Amino acid sequence: MDTALSPPVGQLLGGRYHVDSRIARGGMATVYLGTDTRLDRVIALKIAHPELSDDAEFVRRFIGEARSAARLSSPNVVAIFDQGSDKRLHYIAMEYVPGRTLRQLLNERGRLSASEALDIMAGVLTGLAAAHDAGFAHRDVKPENVLLTTSSGTVKVADFGLARSVAGGVQTRGGMVIGTAAYLAPEQVAGGTSDARTDVYAAGIMLFELLTGFQPHAGESPLAVAYKHVDEVVPPPSTVLPGLSGAVDALVAMATSRDPDLRPANAGQFLRAIQEVRDAQTPGTAPYQAPAGYDPAPFDRAAEPHPSLPLHSASRGSGGSGPLWAPAPDSASHPYQLTGPGSGSGPH
């Protein structure tokens, strides 16, 4: 069946939004190109899968997604226009971003140069900083949820479907950990908590992936990948790309510290650290000066802590076994729900 031509394509939602064609289908919703007939402009319509419309918890979260993102006004966040339901279809009307996802760019290119990766991360973190300043965390930061416009390459953070207030930072009911295994922070897996630093961790994993083309932790199942975040440190990207600047290694190390207290406290702080490295790498500006205390010695997996900026000077517990240098299985790239220990217990 050609679902691109099947309902709701052709339908008018809420007497206003015409569904034109399908853009992408996700686990919980499908995104369509549409037209706001009242304002006569192109929009994107995210429509929840109809079979989920009886799930009150899901519908509550879907509406929450629209409300969270609608509070933000940032050139680096996809703008939300409206939210509503028509019969059994719950929808979000939003800014259409003509272009591709960061995942598509990575698939095409394999990996990005350090300066491209840092430029994109700066856009992502500016968008996330808007959310953190508004008091909530995104909780599903990954290349699939980062859109890039074709014309200018502007970065737009999308999909606030898992966003939640930082104040109410404890996990969902029943100790369920929600997110995408490859980007889950250790505290989400082990303790079931999340806040702005959880997004910083996922952004650090994403930076590693943009630079190397691989996710740092791979495994046979999402659960195995999730626990690697608890048990293992993220190796410096220079172990894969010799010659990569120690300053870039340090950015990945600081953002992916397993102890959230050792990370930049929010996206704005991580952004400033990235901007310092970018400025230092721009020809004509002063060379990067490692802050006092930064040890550029080759990374030794047996000896923690990570090479990191002084912000993270405390030492931590020992790491686990070496990384699997293989492309992550598909399963690790998709959202899933894993039943984890509800509070603070150890791994496995």
Name the residue with the smallest CB distance to Mg ion: 159
Indicate which of ligand ADP, Mg ion, none lies near residue 195 (CB less than 5 to 8 Å, by partner kind).
Answer: none
Does residue 169 interact with ligand ADP by CB under 6 A? no
Sign of CA dihedral 261, 69, 182, 222: positive
Q: Is 199 a residue of the active site?
A: no
Query: How many CA atoms are closer than 13 Å to the CA of 219, on its beta-carbon side?
Result: 17
Residue type, 293: G
75 binds ligand ADP (CB under 6 A): no
Catalytic residue among 82, 119, 133, 140: 140
Closer residue to ligand ADP (CB): 97 or 251: 97
What are 70's two structure tokens?
A: 């609608």
The residue type of 227 is: Y
The distance of closest approach from Cβ of residue 159 to Mg ion in the complex, given in angstroms and rounded to an integer, is 4
d(CA 270, CA 231): 23
Is the sign of the CA dihedral 69, 74, 78, 83 positive or negative?
positive
User: Hey, which residues does 12 pair with through a beta bridge?
Assistant: 18
Q: Give me the least distance between CB of 296 and Mg ion, in Å please.
A: 37
Tell whether residue 122 is a contact of ligand ADP (CB under 6 A).
no
Residues in the chain: 348
Angle at 102 between CA 306 and CA 51, to 5 degrees: 110
Nearest distance from residue 108's CB to ligand ADP, in Å?
14
Question: Given CA atoms 15, 17, 18, 24 in this order, what sign does their dihedral have?
Answer: negative
Q: Is 246 in the site for ligand ADP (CB under 6 A)?
A: no
- Among ligand ADP, Mg ion, none, residue 203 binds (CB under 5-8 Å by kind): none
Site for Mg ion contains 145 (CB under 5 A): yes
Does residue 65 belong to the site contacting Mg ion (CB under 5 A)?
Answer: no
- Which H helix or E strand runs over 25? strand 17-25
Q: Which of 44, 121, 206, 218 binds ligand ADP (CB under 6 A)?
A: 44
Q: At 302, which amino acid appears?
A: A
Task: Name the minimum Å distance from CB 160 to ligand ADP.
Answer: 8
46 touching ligand ADP, by CB under 6 A: yes
Residue 206 within binding range of ligand ADP, rule CB under 6 A? no
Interface contacts to Mg ion, rule CB under 5 A: 145, 159
Active site residues: 140
